[in-house]
Structure 1
Amino acid sequence: MGNTNKFWKGILFGAIAGGAVTLLDKETRHSVREGIKKGTKEVTHCITHPSEVAEQLRTKTEKLRNTVEQVSEDVTFIAEKVGELKEVTPAVVSLVSDTKEAFLESSDD
Structure 2
Amino acid sequence: MAGSKFGKLVLIGALAGAVVSMFDKTTRSEMSRRAKGLGDDAKYYMKNPDVLRWKIQDKSDKLKALYEQFDSDKQYLQSKAAELKQLTPTVKTLVDDTKTAFVDSKDAVMEAKDDYKQMASEAIKGGHPGTDETFVPDEAYAEGQVDGGAADGGTSKGTFVPEEAYREGQVAGEAQEYTQKN
Shared fold (TM-score, shorter chain, > 0.5): yes
Instruction: For CA contacts below 8 A with separation 6 or more, give which structure has more relative contact order.
Output: 2
Equivalent residues in 2 for 1:56-71, closer than 5 Å: 56-71=55-70
Give, in whole Å, the separation in 2 of the partners of 1:38 and 1:70: 35
Give, in whole Å, the separation in 1 of the partners of 2:13 and 2:88: 67
Partner of 1:15: 15
Over 3 Å counting, the alpha-carbon distance change for 1:101 and 1:25 in structure 2 is same
Partner of 2:76: 77
| TM-score w.r.t. length of structure 2 | 0.49
Q: CA deviation at 1:13?
A: 9.6
Q: Which runs of 4+ in 1 moved over 4 A?
A: 11-14
Q: CA deviation at 1:19?
A: 4.0
Q: CA deviation at 1:14?
A: 8.5
Q: Does 2:102 align with 1:99?
A: no
Q: Which runs of 5+ in 2 are unaligned?
A: 109-182
RMSD, aligned α-carbons = 2.5
Q: CA deviation at 1:21?
A: 3.7
Greater share of helix: 1
Partner of 1:54: 53
Partner of 2:25: 26
| TM-score w.r.t. length of structure 1 | 0.79
DSSP-derived class of the 2:58 partner: helix
Partner of 2:89: 90
The percent of aligned pairs where both chains have the same amino acid is 30
